[in-house]
Amino acid sequence: MPFSSRTPRAAIFAALLLIIPGLQGCDVLGPEVVGLYPMPPTPTPMSRTVTQTVEGITAFVFVRNLDAHRVVLDLTLAGPAQPYSYALEITWIHEPQLPGPVLTAGGKSLPFLPDADMTSIVGTHGGLPLFSQGMIAFDASDLHWDQPRVPLHISLPLLVNNEPPVMAPLPVPTGTIPATSTPTEFPTASHVITFDFTFDASYDTRQVVLEPHQEAESNGVKITLERIDITASEARMSVRYSETQTDTFLDRNWVSFSKLKVGPLVGPEGQETVFTLVGEPDACYGSASDNHCIFSYVDRTLSLIDRAHVECSLTVNVGPNEQRHIQEGYLTPTDTGVTGVFQFTLPPP
């Protein structure tokens, strides 16, 4: 499906190398030396790497996680050097009218997770090859798989966004010096290419589920940590909010934030460090008819499924929507917000 030529965004021509090294779907607030800490063993590969080349662009796909929560794909893109600058754009990010990625697992279509960390746009200057690494993720909550391997089909559209190295010469007015050079090579118009992969991958059955039903109450509002659900790809914390008296902010629009502290973990020299992860969504909005939030923590570096017996602390803040400062937990005596702190220990899977 052809599209007219358009100028890519200026920011992409810094030859972006989108390598997502650590966490997906959450921000790390702890030290950056997490790699120095005792790491869990490298997981068994869920699949082999599959590749396909379309119009000189090569896509490499590897299944990093496939479990009861998510399918997470490592995506590497490589393109040849051209005499002009060009970019590859994930079409569902910048061109919402264009098709997005489609993944079927066991014949069932899984929802794409557009907010997960991922390669969204990558470009290169003229004369330089293109290379990018990132991830894309899909929600596997409804897969309910019970076999060792899962057949997968992935359709991945990408917009090839080309830009001529210089603008076409303008007409030369009479009496002026003519242009000394004109462009000799122009790219084809920007257009969409699609990669299709069909293969199978291992299903990771490891899962830890806790139902602590811990509670915290203040200002007529109770926060309940109902469920903790951890797989290799993601940890989900299910939180419910209820009134213990009438006429609270839960009757109106409210907002909630969370953060998860993991550790202390002991480093190679005996130092102890606690790591803090911010939940996704970073702000959960609700109203009188909606009193439930599920916060997601995706931790490629810490790997909670492999951290049995590690202490964790979940902090949840909730208050009126206009009360922005509750995210940091700064509640004054006049505030109507509530903070709940819940302690638990990670069990083995």
> Are 290 and 284 a contacting pair, CB within 8 Å?
no
CA 141 – CA 294 distance, rounded (Å):
13
Domain residue spans of the chain:
10-39+46-202, 207-345
How does residue 335 score in pLDDT terms, banded at 50, 70 and 90? Answer: low
**Residue 34: CB atoms within 10 Å:** 19
How high is the pLDDT of residue 119? 55
Alpha helices by DSSP H, listed for the chain, are 91-94
CA 60 – CA 76 distance, rounded (Å):
5
**Which amino acid type is present at position 85?**
S
3-class secondary-structure state, position 328:
helix
How high is the pLDDT of residue 172? 41
The reported pTM is: 0.75
CA 312 – CA 307 distance, rounded (Å):
10
Q: What is the DSSP string of 178-245?
A: PPS------PPPPEEEEEEEEEEEE----EEEE---EEEEETTEEEEEEEEEEESS-EEEEEEEEESS
Is residue 21 over pLDDT 80? no
- 10-14, 91-95, 150-154, 221-225: range with lowest mean pLDDT: 10-14
| Closest alpha carbon to 93 in 122, 59, 71, 69 | 122
- 158-162, 181-185, 202-206, 292-296: range with lowest mean pLDDT: 181-185
Over its C-alpha atoms, the chain yields an Rg (Å, rounded) of 25
Provide the CB-side half-sphere exposure for 190 (13 A, CA).
21
Q: What is the pLDDT of residues 224-274, one digit of tens each?
A: 999 999 999 999 999 999 999 998 889 888 889 999 999 888 877 788 888
Q: What is the pLDDT of residues 78-119, one digit of tens each?
A: 988 888 788 887 755 555 566 788 999 999 999 988 766 555
How does residue 135 score in pLDDT terms, banded at 50, 70 and 90? Answer: confident
Is residue 12 over pLDDT 60? no
Specify the higher pLDDT residue, 335 or 254: 254
3-class secondary-structure state, position 249:
helix
- The third-level CATH classification (topology) of the domain covering 207-345 is Immunoglobulin-like (2.60.40)
Q: What is the pLDDT of residues 123-132, one digit of tens each?
A: 677 678 888 8
Which CATH number is associated with domain 10-39+46-202? 2.60.40
Residue 115's region, left for phi above 0, alpha for psi from -120 to 50, else beta, is alpha
- 2-16, 75-89, 133-147, 230-244: range with lowest mean pLDDT: 2-16
- 27-31, 137-141, 279-283: range with lowest mean pLDDT: 27-31
Q: Which residue has the tokens 């917000």?
A: 337
Is residue 317 over pLDDT 50? yes
Tell me the two tokens of residue 32. Answer: 């950056």
Q: What is the pLDDT of residues 260-314, one digit of tens each?
A: 999 888 877 788 888 888 888 888 888 877 799 999 998 777 778 888 888 999 9
Q: Are 10-39+46-202 and 207-345 in the same CATH fold? A: yes
How does residue 223 score in pLDDT terms, banded at 50, 70 and 90? Answer: very high
Is residue 344 over pLDDT 90? yes
- 95-109, 131-145, 326-340: range with lowest mean pLDDT: 326-340
